[in-house]
Structure 1
Amino acid sequence: METKRVKDLLEQLQNQCLHKGVGGIKGLAVAFRKMDKDFSAHLCYNEFCEGIHSFGLQVEEKDLQLLFEAFDMNKNNQIDFMELVSKLKPAMSGKRIEVVNQAFDALDAIKDGVLKLEDLKVVYSKNAKQHPRFISGEWTEEQVLRYFLDSIDTPGNPDGKVTREEFMDYYAGVSATVDDDSYFDLMMRACYGLPNRGK
């Protein structure tokens, strides 16, 4: 059971990550991957502390141990990356999850559960041609689409494919910056050309 102090610390850490932008929490995961010296996908206490500091988060020494214990769900003195990200990821309401799923489904033209350039060429080509760098001739349509994919993909390790989970993680960060459910819904529908509710 988490104490109020631990909940406050987790909220502070989450807020500091989100202050770095919508990809802040994923960025923290990337920082932690760099600290994972033995490539175990787990962090010991020292690696955790190093990751927190290298990402520029402000946490007092006495609170680091409390945070580490909160993330160490199975009490094996190690933190799993997925436990870390899932604990920090802001919760989204059912309405927000629904519209994010609709946006993903609209982009997934090939219907294989992964967003790739081939999908975006089918459904997002018109938007790409309105990008300022395409209009100026600086980028090709493919470069615009790849930029879009990479912005949602895992930071530091973009592979040109975005899973539903990565898409949801990205929009959990965006969601944390939008207070109103209706506005978030409207924003997503406008951005991805989704029909309005009830239509």
Structure 2
Amino acid sequence: MDDNGDKKLDKYEFGKGFREFGCELTKEEVAELFTIFDRNGSGFVDFEDMLCTLRQPMRQCRKNLVLMAFQKFDKDNTGKITISDLRGVYTAKHHPKFISGKMTEDEVFGEFLQTFTQSTKPVKEVKWEEFFNYYHGISCSIDLDVYFDVMMRQAWKL
């Protein structure tokens, strides 16, 4: 659908994509769907918008586990995890790049935080929504709640 390769869809590409897949929609229907898919109101639908709109809602028991993990890090209850929040909860001392001297502890923490975002730039914090979206994506690939539960509890020592 992304004809110009800019990794996002404008209204024209969005509507054209539906037509190419055999969905004949009116301009009004395309506009309504575009508004739903353009979750951040940017005027474009990017890959994250597409995924977030198409995946099914996460079950409450899974949301609770993700929230528990987030709260384990968000010590000051700001709704975001920062590098300072990671100190004392996450250690960089065993990270290969820290051991080799290629990265400082803060750089290791920044790399860790980067995991949860779509940003290509270095990050110093992760908001709840980013953390949740990361685990929402993972949740979609795990069929049973019990497996998701075990994964979260073991990964975050909950």
Tell me the TM-score normalized by structure 2: 0.72
Structure 1 residue aligned with 2:67? 101
Once the two structures are TM-superposed, the CA of residue 122 in structure 1 deviates from its matched residue by: 3.5
In structure 2, give the amino acid aligned to 1:163.
Answer: K
The reply to whether residue 178 of structure 1 matches residue 129 of structure 2 is: no
Which residue of the other structure, out of 80, 96, 112, is the alignment partner of 1:148?
112
Preserved CA contact (<8 Å) 2:73 2:89? yes
Preserved CA contact (<8 Å) 1:90 1:173? no
Give 1 or 2: higher helix fraction.
1
When residues 134 and 157 of structure 1 are mapped into structure 2, their CA distance, relative to the original with a 3 A threshold, is: closer
Structure 2 residue aligned with 1:163? 127
In structure 2, give the amino acid aligned to 1:147.
Answer: E
Aligned pairs, how many? 143
When residues 88 and 104 of structure 1 are mapped into structure 2, their CA distance, relative to the original with a 3 A threshold, is: same
Gaps of 5+ in 2: 1-5
Tell me the TM-score normalized by structure 1: 0.59
Task: Between the two structures, name the one with larger relative contact order (CA 8 Å, sep ≥ 6).
Answer: 1
Preserved CA contact (<8 Å) 1:103 1:192? yes
Structure 1 residue aligned with 2:83? 117
Matches within 5 A, 1:61-140: 61-63=20-22, 72-73=31-32, 81-82=38-39, 85=49, 86-124=52-90, 126=91, 128-140=92-104
When residues 151 and 162 of structure 1 are mapped into structure 2, their CA distance, relative to the original with a 3 A threshold, is: same
When residues 44 and 117 of structure 1 are mapped into structure 2, their CA distance, relative to the original with a 3 A threshold, is: same
Give me the identity figure in percent. Answer: 34
- Corresponding residue SS for 1:152: coil
In structure 1, give the amino acid aligned to 2:150.
Answer: L
In structure 1, give the amino acid aligned to 2:65.
Answer: V
Once the two structures are TM-superposed, the CA of residue 157 in structure 1 deviates from its matched residue by: 5.5
Gaps of 5+ in 1: 1-29, 36-42, 53-58, 195-199
